[in-house]
Structure 1
């Protein structure tokens, strides 16, 4: 899920779906560059009921992780209107939702642009039978049991569409930029960890071309990738969900990133990682693998979301379906051994510092949900974020809430109806935090 940006320091093919807007491939000059040394700056964002993109106050801090001040780190962690520990408690029982009367919809506020593409067919022609032996949970498919990986997201077409919409939300939140780090046009080798449908990597494979032309990155433009084939791009995920037709400089691999990596040390210029919430048992181990795999001067960018849905004006009260979303996921994460609160726990910053990264920058963001925002851009972001969630509520919660917490499918259905009603209402000024952290290997 994803939306306002504030800065702060501290394998195998599947179908890509085009996003609905052009991406601006250029990034701000103050972002870390691949292969160059930069100073570390921090900025804190003030949580407001009407979020805006790009408002930040610069705070200087040291570029050496071991010397990053506690004040800077703590401030960056506290920025996204963090819910207290009570967000992990006071979980209403699954049976509660059947007792809550379904209020009639006041009005259909669904003014989301419905022109979003439906191009999510998966290609499985070249995949081995063992990889395609998916698990089925209440009618939804999940990746096959492989290593230590446990993905709670379905890998079917319906959920792929939600994730592709969220990719579009992400680019809107970042003012059209697909990365917050500045990627120099001399970058030779790129790795995307948890690439999903490959939409992001399709853009990255064209990033070098867009940087050369100085324009906006197209969704997927194979002719650009053909003209500039010197950047090798690898996408890795646990499930085969990537496109059949890809640029020649882009390839996909299926692997479990929670196991020891097999890539050559010092072999990548840039590593991107996004939305691994609830899937990683040890973030410190994972970030050490990233550090070892990057070349000196290489850039690591991690983007994570929180499961905690909140408001700044009290319009997401305790007991609402929106409020319970984060509480139930937090409870499930504790039993699952994989947190759904990476933003609140400041995991990205702490794990980057522990691994040895320098020039760490943090970008705190708010992702509005629904059409309540007065600002046109925030409204658009909220509409798409709501669409992504609303069209597959069951897919997001089915595995964790049934398998881990014991909810029934019927209880899931009843809760989902309450959540959809709240998502459509302008009375809930809801959002959830996201955070991008960028660091450089010295």
Structure 2
């Protein structure tokens, strides 16, 4: 049996250790974030220890959101019209001006091959419902997020104490652009790595020991029972209607003695020093995603609802370990490592902020394209405010399937 004493990353702790240092004083302005290309490329593999030297869209409008009109309550921050009335005064953001002149062309492209306002989503030939685009802009953002998350884990791809010398098959559920699967396969050429997703957006040039399959994780899995030594899933928030069911399927697909690891984030943007208020754009972001769950039927708050630990234990896994981490959303920390994490996080969000909200705010909550971009202009302004110290939570839960099933 593999050891259960996984080496925790220096930046984490089981009791919600914070990555962000005290924000009692304003840090000096951070240097400009690195260019996207530096993060989008697959990091070069390191020789050992799992260290290094990123889905698609819903089929239909959930909740039956009805069109809004100009007389809606603009004083309500959850109303898109509210953000239309607020001055931005940010010379670096001209997206609102451009969107006002191109609304007609954007509107005309809706649902042209799962096309929403010029952004492509996964094929409607599947039964999946996912809120994010699958185009190049979103994939570049996912690539940067992948690099950011490996920095959070100090270069590691996983925390589960798997013995890569004694296993043979690994599954990456919701692989997206496939970077995690590719990096894992590069590090361990003796292992077979399978990545699944609802969109065929992975690169064609991949290591010989990795393959990608079209698979909707919310439907019955097609893999034989006891197939994989390690099942990895990351950033599935907002896409899973039944978390218990997905962990049950993962349990069935895992070999006795094998491991599962679930890596998730919440759409909860907050600060520890009061610089993110409830009525700010970031505070509104959190409230809108909570409201969206009521209509969309999928949570964007798996950590707050404890779906990972609860579902993994309910499925029958044992030796469960939980790691909670608070991640800086911008480069405000003074610590160089935390600053770099925050800069990459900021870069990933800026790369495709529109893609993160377009479906949920528009199709689910009923905001117009103009209202969405007005809100995003305010959101960007808050992100660029060096006196604002936003954080978001992530949680890694890993556990083992018993060597012998209980009778």
Partner of 2:344: 384
Partner of 1:113: none
Superposed CA offset, 1:214-238 (max 9, x none): xxxxxxxxxxx3xx3xx11100000
Superposed CA offset, 1:147-196 (max 9, x none): 43111110000000001100001000000001111231221000000001
1:5 to 4, 12, 19: 12
Partner of 2:154: 175
* CA distance in structure 2 between the partners assigned to 1:291 and 1:300 by the alignment: 8
Partner of 1:194: 174
Partner of 2:382: 422
Deviation at 1:340, TM superposition (A): 0.6
Q: Is 1:437 matched up with 2:397?
A: yes
Partner of 2:261: 301
Taking only aligned residues, the RMSD between alpha carbons, in angstroms, comes to 2.2
Q: Is 1:159 matched up with 2:138?
A: yes
Partner of 1:137: 116
Superposed CA offset, 1:96-153 (max 9, x none): 111111134699xxxxxxxxxxxxxxxxxxxxxxxxx940011100001244311111
Partner of 1:325: 285
- Give 3-state SS (helix, strand or coil) of 1:432's partner: strand
Deviation at 1:23, TM superposition (A): 5.5
Q: Is 1:266 matched up with 2:245?
A: no
Q: For 1:249-288, list aligned pairs within 5 A.
A: 249-288=209-248
Q: Is 1:103 matched up with 2:83?
A: no
Structure 1 contact 192–271 (Cα < 8 Å) conserved: yes
Point out where structure 1 has 5 or more consecutive residues left out of the alignment: 10-15, 29-89, 108-132, 209-224
* CA distance in structure 2 between the partners assigned to 1:139 and 1:91 by the alignment: 26
Deviation at 1:376, TM superposition (A): 0.8
1:18 to 41, 45, 49: 41
When the two structures are aligned, how many residues end up with a matched partner?
A: 328
TM-score w.r.t. the length of structure 1 is: 0.71
Deviation at 1:392, TM superposition (A): 1.1
Cα distance change on mapping 1:395 and 1:247 into 2, 3 Å: same
Structure 1 contact 24–177 (Cα < 8 Å) conserved: no
Deviation at 1:255, TM superposition (A): 1.2
Partner of 1:242: 202
Deviation at 1:26, TM superposition (A): 1.3
Structure 1 contact 147–259 (Cα < 8 Å) conserved: no
Partner of 2:310: 350
Partner of 1:400: 360
Superposed CA offset, 1:341-399 (max 9, x none): 10101110000111001000011111211121111111111111011111211111001
* CA distance in structure 1 between the partners assigned to 2:198 and 2:365 by the alignment: 24
* CA distance in structure 1 between the partners assigned to 2:204 and 2:180 by the alignment: 15
- Give 3-state SS (helix, strand or coil) of 2:251's partner: helix
* CA distance in structure 2 between the partners assigned to 1:20 and 1:315 by the alignment: 34
Structure 1 contact 237–254 (Cα < 8 Å) conserved: yes
* CA distance in structure 1 between the partners assigned to 2:401 and 2:114 by the alignment: 38
Deviation at 1:24, TM superposition (A): 7.6
Partner of 2:78: 92
Cα distance change on mapping 1:334 and 1:162 into 2, 3 Å: same
TM-score w.r.t. the length of structure 2 is: 0.77
Point out where structure 2 has 5 or more consecutive residues left out of the alignment: 1-9, 17-38, 52-75, 94-111, 403-407
Cα distance change on mapping 1:134 and 1:235 into 2, 3 Å: farther
Partner of 1:127: none
